[in-house]
Amino acid sequence: MTTSNTADRPALRLAGLLSALAATLALLASAGCTPKAPTLSPVRGQVLVDGKPIAEAVIVLHPAKGDEPGGKRLEARSDAEGRFAIAEGLPPGDYDLTVEWLASRFDGERSVRDGHNLLPERYADPKTSQLHYTVVEGNNEIPPLQLVGE
């Protein structure tokens, strides 16, 4: 006569369920069911006001759908020639751009730009800036952003 311990049956069932769950997860992962990270493409451009390049402007690319990927702002700062770049890249898609060019002031011996916006306020809002660009896979060169000053 064989005796079995009825107290071991739940533990055996749990071990069997865990084993089946692990096998299912491994199968799903190997089948490509894990989310794939989007391809990121570098974006460059230039910002001009009344035909002249502006330095230290902040250019932000907002996904046209309204959701910021990963919750981070996709922004760049222009150099002395008005050129900017988002070297880490953006996922392909439609973007609304905003531009702010803050007045500078001296903080001790260094100059900081945190004053009022020197550009018309419409450029600071993605709904009113009228600046749009579609990022595609590969290198992207935004045509010069021709802004009109106040």
54 and 23 both lie in a single domain: no
Please check the confidence at residue 68 and state whether its pLDDT lies above 70: no
pLDDT for 91-133, tens place per residue? 999 999 999 999 987 778 876 777 899 999 999 999 999 999 9
3-state secondary structure of 16: helix
109 and 124 both lie in a single domain: yes
Cβ atoms within 10 Å, residue 147: 20
Residues 6+ apart with CB under 8 A from 129: 96, 97, 98, 99, 122, 123
CA–chain centroid gap for 95, Å, is 10
47 and 84 both lie in a single domain: yes
22 and 83 both lie in a single domain: no
101 and 119 both lie in a single domain: yes
Structural domain contains residue 1: no
Domain count for the chain, please give it.
Answer: 2
Structural domain that includes position 124: 41-147
- CATH code for position 99: 2.60.40.10
Structural domain contains residue 58: yes
Q: Is the dihedral of CA 100, 104, 107, 112 positive or negative?
A: positive
pLDDT for 6-49, tens place per residue? 556 665 565 665 666 566 656 556 656 556 777 899 999 999 99
80 and 128 both lie in a single domain: yes
User: Do β-strands 145-147 and 41-49 pair in parallel, antiparallel, or remain unpaired?
Assistant: parallel
Please check the confidence at residue 67 and state whether its pLDDT lies above 50: yes
Both structure tokens of 74: 């996709």
CA–chain centroid gap for 52, Å, is 28
28 and 62 both lie in a single domain: no
